[in-house]
Amino acid sequence: MGFFSRVGKLWKRNQTEKTAQEAPVPEQKRAGGEEKPPSTAATEASAAEDWQNKLLQSLQQAEPRLSVWLDRILQGVDTAGEELWSRLYFLLDSLQVPREEAQDFVEGFRKWLRDMDYDQVEEFRSELQYRLALALDLEDEEDERSRLFEKLSHGLSKTKEQLSRRVDQLLSRSDGFGEQFWEELEEILITADVGFKTTTTLVDSLQKRVREQNTTTAEGFKELFQEELAQMFPASPKRIKPIPPEIVLMLGVNGVGKTTTIAKLAHRARMQGYKPLIAAGDTFRAAAIEQLEIWAQRVGTGFYAKSSGADPAAVAYEALDKARQEDYDLVFIDTAGRLHTKTNLMEELKKIKRVLAKNHPGSPHRSILVVDATTGQNAISQTKLFRENVGLDEIVLTKLDGTAKGGVVLGISLELGLPITYIGLGEKMEDLRPFDGQSFARALLD
């Protein structure tokens, strides 16, 4: 589903038929956004008609793709303001988005711009496209996929330097695939934080495939390598839709990006048409509660907290209650991450799980561990610790941007067999994206 559920269909129809000419004509032409009073002067009205007709024509002739449409909408607009709102409304109207939903979308975006203090289109264009892609259910569209791939490729640049560039060098100076080659490959993988066990498994199966397929060229090897990497990632399991509210328990050590990841996931969910509630289960520090509340306001989701020092299990229980009473369909529960008092933390997390399961059988539906890629092999030991003590369903790997230790993705997947569902490629909302093993392998080795 999407923020604008009906639009996705219209879009996909346009996509398959490739008949932009069929783009619907807006029911009523609107001169401006909410705040603009209806113009009285006839000349003003006809000027408005004029730009709308031109824009509509331009949209109809454009390739039916989000980035292209956004280009047309933003042509000649450099800053946020009435002109931009009018055009956005016009686009949504042309896509037959019901007025109320369009208003909700535009108002939400304006609030975000105010919060973030953004004014120039160049500062927020990307976020606008991200929001539209989610709201229109178009994240799978080729444009968005290639935008993500670029981001991924860019984010992985240091890991690539550590891994693929060295593999390339090794290939260019090696003469065939002898003992020496495999030893050096092993060393490269281990230095890139792939981990000992994963490296051994990977090199073994590569060796076997090179022999079987009689690979002799560097290109041939790289192809095999990429294939082998891509198939190492466990698929994200298909999940049965839970009885609402769906409860997501967010786990992870302090500083890994847990709170900001909750904000990013809640933002995604909201843009996709869900109504999320964020619960402040990290009651250890007052600052953690405040930080989360600011995020909830920014993202425009519900928020539940008790005072600092409160029992986190009680927070979880009461948040569940609130979600039921107020029809939230998704609850993200933040938790503490102080690792130096390990046993207490694990007991605290287990208790949250027990209380949830007792009061909402089947919940928490997802226990997500957030791990920081820059910690390399530490990420693996943290994952093991949480899995053994609390149980895990998914991993979100943050801070892949700017680290050379991105090889840890492979270790987590192969050694622990846990699906990585999202990766963090930066601090912006749009920098958290679904993980896809194929793209990852391609971005890493291309």
Residue 194 vs 336, nearer CB to Mg ion: 336
Provide CB contacts within 8 A for 115, sequence distance 6+: 297, 298
CA distance 82 to 88: 10
How far, in Å, CA of 245 to CA of 363, rounded?
9
Output the CA–CA distances (angstroms, integers) from residue 75 to 69, 71, 87, 91, 350, in the order listed: 10, 6, 10, 13, 54
Residues 275-304 interacting with Mg ion (rule: CB under 5 A):
288
Q: CB 255 → ligand GDP: shortest distance, Å?
A: 5
> Residue type for 339, please?
L
Determine the interface stretch with Mg ion among 136-144, 256-264, 354-362, 437-445 (rule: CB under 5 A).
256-264
Binding mask 201-240 for Mg ion (x = CB under 5 A): ----------------------------------------
Give which of ligand GDP, Mg ion, none residue 8 binds (C-beta under 5 to 8 Å, depending on kind): none
Q: Which helix (H) or strand (E) holds 265?
A: helix 258-271
Which does residue 14 touch among ligand GDP, Mg ion, none (CB within 5 to 8 A, set by kind)? none
Residue 419 interacting partner from Mg ion, ligand GDP, none (CB closer than 5 to 8 Å by kind): none
Query: Using the rule CB under 5 A, which residue among 259, 335, 403, 439 binds Mg ion?
Result: 259
260 binds, among ligand GDP, Mg ion, none (CB under 5 to 8 A by kind): ligand GDP
Q: Which of ligand GDP, Mg ion, none lies near 410, with the C-beta cut-off 5 to 8 A by kind?
A: none
From the CB of 75, what's the least distance to ligand GDP, in Å?
Answer: 32
Q: Closer to ligand GDP at the Cβ: 166 or 405?
A: 405
Minimum gap (Å) between residue 390 Cβ and ligand GDP: 16
Question: Residues 224, 226, 228, CA angle at the centre, nearest 5°?
Answer: 65
- Helix axis angle for 342-359 and 312-325, nearest 10°, is 30
The interface partner of residue 95, options being Mg ion, ligand GDP, none and the CB cut-off 5 to 8 Å by kind, is none
Instruction: Decide whether 258 or 267 has the Cβ nearer to Mg ion.
Output: 258
Which residues of this chain interact with ligand GDP, rule CB under 6 A?
252, 254-260, 337, 398-399, 401-402, 424-427, 431
Cβ closest to ligand GDP, residue 2 vs residue 419: 419
Given ligand GDP, Mg ion, none, residue 427, with its beta carbon under 5 to 8 Å by kind, binds ligand GDP
CB 242 within 8 A of CB 365: yes
Identity of the residue, 25 or 286, whose beta carbon is nearer to ligand GDP in the bound complex: 286
For residue 64, the partner it binds in Mg ion, ligand GDP, none, with Cβ less than 5 to 8 A by kind, is none
CB of 259 to ligand GDP, least distance (A): 3
**324 burial type by CB count under 10 A (0-12 exposed, 13-18 middle, 19+ buried):** middle
Q: Considering beta carbons, is residue 129 or 259 the nearer one to ligand GDP?
A: 259
Closest approach of Cβ 26 to Mg ion, in Å? 44
Find the shortest distance in angstroms from Cβ 346 to ligand GDP.
Answer: 17
Q: Which is nearer to ligand GDP, 260 or 413 (CB)?
A: 260
Compute CA distances 332 → 24, 41, 166, 240, 284, whole Å.
Answer: 38, 51, 41, 18, 17
Distance, in Å, from the CA atom of 127 to the CA atom of 108, rounded to the nearest integer, reads 12
Phi, psi of 280 (to 5 degrees): -90, 85
Tokens of 207: 């060796």
Tell me the closest approach of the beta carbon of residue 298 to ligand GDP, in angstroms.
Answer: 13
> Would you count residue 375 as binding Mg ion (CB under 5 A)?
no
Separation of CA 218 from chain center = 34
The nearer residue to ligand GDP, 137 or 334, going by C-beta atoms, is: 334
Q: What backbone torsions phi and psi does residue 4 show, to the nearest 5 degrees?
A: -110, 90
Q: What φ, ψ does residue 90 adopt, rounded to 5°? A: -65, -45
Tell me which residue has tokens 């046993």. 343
For residue 426, the partner it binds in ligand GDP, Mg ion, none, with Cβ less than 5 to 8 A by kind, is ligand GDP
Sheet holding 302-304, edge to edge: 302-304, 276-281, 330-335, 246-251, 366-372, 394-398, 420-424, 432-434
Give the binding site for Mg ion (CB under 5 A).
258-259, 288
